[in-house]
Homo-oligomer: A and B are copies of this chain.
Amino acid sequence: MPGRFRIYFVSSNEHKFREIKLVLMEYNISAIRRKADLKEIQSLDLEDIAREKAFSAHEIVKKSIIVEDAGLFIDALGGFPGPYSSFVQQTIGCEGILTLLRNKLSRKATFKSALVCADRNGKLLTFLGGVTGTISQDLCGDHGFGFDPIFIPDGHRDTYALMLDAEKNLISHRAIATRKFADWFLKRQRTKE
């Protein structure tokens, strides 16, 4: 059954879309995916990157849209790979991160998400989510994507990649940001009615 409300999610990442779509279904919001070749800026600030991307996405789609950017910030590596997680994943991968942490005392890390909504008029709103955790000793699990096989959220024994989408969505950085957005979105729809 399609949700009562609709929002366009602009991304080339199928995994992200699936996670966000699942969360929004709980709120009766249908996420519709739009692919677009969006230029991303280089910045140490996830929010900056996501806001610029939302601006570009809105210029193309001309409707209410959301975009999302995420990054893994590892304490002992000065915040690396941070906003460049996707590039780092494609080059040195999870194995590279484990190599870099081999002699480090701390394995603490934070997975952050910045979800930005551009409304019909292009006004931007940002919703942030963050989850602290540790980097595992080895790769573990096949679900998810990116650094999911090496991130163990605090209070859990499993990596993100050992969790099904529905499980990850109960706790993840992306789900936190998405729920904040959904709450705001539904409230706004109600005031319109």
List residues of A whose CB falls within 8 A of some B CB. 39-44, 49, 52, 77-82, 84, 87-88, 90-92, 96, 99-100, 102
Contacts and interface: CB of A to CB of B under 8 A. Distances in A.
Contact of A92 (B39, B77, B87): B77
Contacts of A41: 39-42
B44 A42 contact: no
Contact of A84 (B77, B87, B99): B87
A92 B100 CA distance: 8
Contact of A80 (B43, B82, B91): B91
Contacts of A102: 99
A84 B87 CA distance: 9
A75 to B, nearest CB: 11
